[in-house]
């Protein structure tokens, strides 16, 4: 059927105005004259009075201005609807609930995202639009408004792509679902509609469980990570079409299940074993004490004596992570993106060894939007600082408060973030600039003091054990019989930690190094002779009050290793020995 009237510029203007604003007055007779337009004729959705009022407020050029109102008809291309999708964003190491509201209304075709989004979130407009088309969906013709609530929390990252796309489909009535309130949805979209992995899936899953949600819809690669949270259905999604059909109930997806007990049993063994170290039995003893009580250690000795070798094997004699410790450690690694693809849980204690050129932001954490630093990545593990005097003094001084509090707070204009940092500090250094002991060094006393002065006294005071690492003798190097293995040492450490857990039952103390003044008075009662010994040590070595407390904590750990309930004279004497080396070097 030929069009009886040519498509003049005026008529074309009417058509384009109708397409852009989605609603205007067109007579039935005029629609019949345009067969290509009448096939898209929308259905009425407003009352006659509302249509008349809208026409008088905003009359369209050449349409309805001269025709009687009885000959006009109010039409809308698509009904307006508000969709509400549950999602979450990471703040610090925890996730905050985010409600995504999507409204497809009238106006020029565009998507507007409000609610304090960052650049990555704003760019989701293009990713979502292209992913919808490539997934055989249509993009709404009018104005689509996306609100990320609450609006006072900054939204970062591409994890809102998938929930925004689902909201667009629901608001434009391309899908209908009754499951939206039951699931928290996160995921990044590719232009093809595929769902890509994101960072911080575990904190999102924990938040969903705390809110009482039924489950989470996450990228397939992140499903194992989220599945370690018990009582939560984790739905793995590969693409946008699959997510839409699951929410509509077209097909079901089996939730991913993870056996956390099996994960710990299958944890890979540490490649570093104490039996590889020749000699250095006194240093091994000090590291065993440090592992049993969670104490900080400073290894001092000339080059080539095995300081780094011993430090790398310390993590292998630490007790295994508990489930709560593993979850907390995994959260930190997840938001940084250090988990490998398909990794569900961090089952080994972390060992971090940053280079001495690291900045204070790299060590503590920071940035415009603060992220965890090395001390938080070593949470429940070991932070090894090799060549301690080579670090910037300003960087080392920033560790003083985290060593005491077990957490670090980073303040910025936008707010403050607190990251956990309960780690064991293991530091290694040479006694002089040329690496030799002071009595053998060719460096002048002034050069030696300038070198040692790079490490401040307050930082040394927070290190419990100062251990000399002597040169290895030829007889030790040539000995064929291997030394004690890490497995044997670890068993003694585990037994000592178990005694501490029973002692600190229902208290938020994980080891002896975390005891406060109240716990020291309660669990470290000394005899009069032991008090006298400690008094002379304090006077002769000029120890501070902090050093006094740390000697008692180390003595308590030594007693736990041998199964003694009371701290005796011998335990305190050995603990004092680990505080004498620094007084000899630093005076």
pLDDT tens per residue, range 198-207: 999 999 999 9
Does 378 reside within a domain? yes
Is residue 146 domain-shared with residue 221, that is, in the same domain?
yes
pLDDT tens digit string along 12-40? 444 444 444 433 334 444 444 444 443 33
Angle among Cα 213, 216, 218 to the nearest 5 degrees reads 165
Query: Is 390 in the same domain as 480?
Result: yes
> Are residues 466 and 503 located together in one domain of the fold?
yes
Instruction: Give the number of domains in the chain.
Output: 3
**Final residue in a domain of this structure, among 76, 103, 129:** 76
* Cα distance between residue 216 and residue 196, in whole Å: 15
Whether residue 269 is contained in a domain is answered as: no
Per residue in 30-75, pLDDT (tens digit) is 444 444 443 333 444 444 345 444 544 454 444 444 444 344 333 3
**319 and 366 fall within a common domain:** yes
260 within domain boundaries:
no
Q: Are 332 and 372 in contact (CB under 8 A)?
A: yes
Contact between 473 and 304 under an 8 Å Cβ cutoff? The reply is no
pTM score? 0.82
Query: Taking a C-beta distance cutoff of 8 angstroms, is the pair 344, 361 a contact?
Result: no
Asked if pLDDT for residue 430 goes beyond 50, the answer is yes
Q: End-to-end alpha-carbon separation of the chain, Å?
A: 105
What gap in Å lies between CA 226 and CA 201, rounded to an integer?
6
Residue 582 per-residue DSSP state: H
Give the residue-averaged pLDDT of 451-463.
90
SS3 category, 220: helix
- Give the SS3 label for residue 137: coil
Verify that 122 and 190 share a domain, yes or no. Answer: yes
Range of the domain at 46: 9-76
Would you say residue 254 lies in a domain?
no
Let me know whether 218 and 233 are in one domain: yes
Q: Are residues 56 and 122 in the same domain?
A: no
Cα separation of 171 and 173, whole Å?
Answer: 5
Shared domain for 282 and 351, answered yes or no, is: yes
Please state, for a pLDDT cut of 70, what percent of the chain lies above it. Answer: 85
Backbone angles phi, psi at 22, to 5 degrees: 70, -10
User: What confidence score (pLDDT) does residue 40 get?
Assistant: 39
CATH number for the domain including 178? Answer: 3.30.230.10
The verdict on 206 and 278 lying in the same domain is no
Are 364 and 398 part of one and the same domain?
Answer: yes
Q: Do 449 and 331 share a domain, yes or no? A: yes
Q: Are 93 and 151 in contact (CB under 8 A)?
A: no
Query: In the predicted model, is pLDDT for residue 132 greater than 90?
Result: yes
Indicate the residue among 48, 76, 104 that finishes a domain.
76
Percent of the chain having pLDDT more than 90?
61
Residue in 223, 87, 217 with CA at minimum distance from that of residue 155: 87
Backbone angles phi, psi at 194, to 5 degrees: -70, 155
pLDDT at 392: 94
Say if residue 70 is exposed, middle or buried (CB neighbours under 10 Å; 0-12, 13-18, 19+): exposed
Residue 155 has pLDDT above 80, yes or no: yes
- Residue 298 belongs to domain with CATH number: 3.40.50.300
Q: Are residues 88 and 40 in the same domain?
A: no
Asked whether residue 1 is domain-assigned, the answer is no
- Whether 265 maps to a domain, the answer reads no
Mean pLDDT over 327-350 rounds to 92
Q: What pLDDT does 141 receive?
A: 85
Q: How far apart are CA 456 and CA 14, in angstroms?
A: 79
From 61, 76, 91, the end of a domain falls on 76
Q: Which residues in 559-577 are b (16+ Cβ under 10 Å) and which e?
A: bbbeeeeebbeebbebbbb
- Decide if 33 is inside a domain: yes
What average pLDDT does the segment 410-430 reach?
89
Q: How many CB atoms lie within 10 A of CB 294?
A: 23
Task: Tell whether 263 is covered by a domain.
Answer: no
Running DSSP on this structure, what letter comes out for residue 4? S
């Amino acid at each position: 059927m030929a069009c009886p009237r040519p498509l003049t510029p005026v008529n074309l203007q009417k058509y384009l105005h109708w397409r852009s604003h989605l609603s205007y007055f067109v007579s039935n007779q005029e629609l019949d004259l345009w067969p290509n337009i009448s096939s898209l004729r929308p259905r009425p959705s407003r009352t006659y009075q509302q249509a008349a009022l809208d026409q008088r407020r905003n009359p369209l050029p050449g349409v309805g201005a001269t025709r009687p109102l009885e000959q006009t008809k109010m039409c809308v291309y698509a009904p307006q609807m508000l969709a509400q999708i549950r999602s979450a964003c990471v703040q610090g190491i925890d996730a905050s609930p985010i409600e995504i509201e999507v409204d497809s209304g009238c106006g020029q075709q565009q998507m507007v995202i409000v609610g304090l989004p960052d650049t990555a979130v704003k760019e989701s407009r293009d990713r979502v639009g292209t992913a919808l088309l490539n997934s055989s969906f249509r993009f709404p013709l009018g104005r689509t408004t996306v609100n990320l609530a609450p609006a006072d929390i900054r939204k970062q990252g591409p994890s809102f792509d998938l929930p925004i796309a689902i909201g667009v489909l629901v608001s434009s009535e391309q899908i209908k679902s009754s499951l939206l309130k039951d699931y928290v949805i996160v995921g990044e979209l590719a232009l093809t509609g595929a769902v890509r992995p994101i960072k911080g899936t575990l904190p999102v899953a924990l938040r969903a469980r705390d809110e009482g949600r039924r489950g989470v819809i996450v990228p397939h690669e992140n499903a194992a990570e989220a599945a370690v949270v018990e009582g939560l259905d984790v739905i793995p999604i590969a693409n946008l079409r699959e997510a839409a059909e699951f929410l509509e109930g077209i097909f079901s997806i089996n939730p991913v299940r993870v056996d956390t007990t099996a994960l710990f049993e299958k944890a890979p063994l540490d490649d570093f074993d104490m039996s590889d170290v020749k000699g250095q039995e006194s240093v091994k003893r000090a590291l065993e004490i440090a592992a049993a009580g969670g104490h900080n250690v400073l290894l001092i000795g000339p080059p080539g004596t095995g300081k780094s070798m011993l430090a790398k094997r310390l993590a292998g004699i630490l007790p295994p992570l508990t489930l709560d410790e593993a979850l907390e450690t995994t959260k930190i690694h997840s938001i940084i993106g250090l988990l490998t693809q398909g990794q569900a849980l961090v089952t080994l204690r972390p060992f971090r060894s940053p280079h001495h050129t690291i900045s204070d932001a790299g060590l503590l954490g920071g940035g415009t939007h603060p992220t965890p630093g090395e001390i938080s990545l070593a949470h429940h593990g070991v932070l090894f600082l090799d060549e301690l005097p080579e670090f910037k003094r300003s960087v080392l001084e920033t560790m003083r408060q985290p060593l005491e509090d077990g957490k670090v707070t980073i303040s910025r204009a936008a707010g403050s973030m607190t990251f956990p940092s309960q780690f064991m500090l293991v530091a290694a250094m040479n006694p002089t600039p040329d690496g030799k002991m002071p009595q053998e060094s060719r460096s002048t006393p002034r050069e030696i003091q300038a070198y040692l002065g790079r490490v401040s006294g307050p930082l040394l005071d927070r290190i419990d054990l100062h251990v000399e690492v002597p040169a290895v003798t030829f007889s030790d190097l040539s000995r064929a019989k291997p030394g004690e293995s890490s497995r044997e040492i670890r068993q003694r450490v585990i037994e000592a930690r178990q005694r501490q857990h029973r002692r600190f039952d229902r208290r938020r103390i994980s080891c002896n190094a975390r005891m406060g003044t109240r716990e020291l008075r309660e669990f470290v009662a000394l005899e009069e002779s032991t008090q006298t010994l400690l008094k002379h040590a304090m006077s002769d070595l000029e120890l501070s009050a902090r050093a006094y407390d740390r000697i008692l904590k180390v003595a308590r750990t030594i007693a736990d290793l041998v199964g003694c309930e009371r701290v005796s004279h011998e335990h305190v004497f050995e603990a004092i020995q680990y505080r004498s080396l620094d007084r000899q070097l630093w005076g």
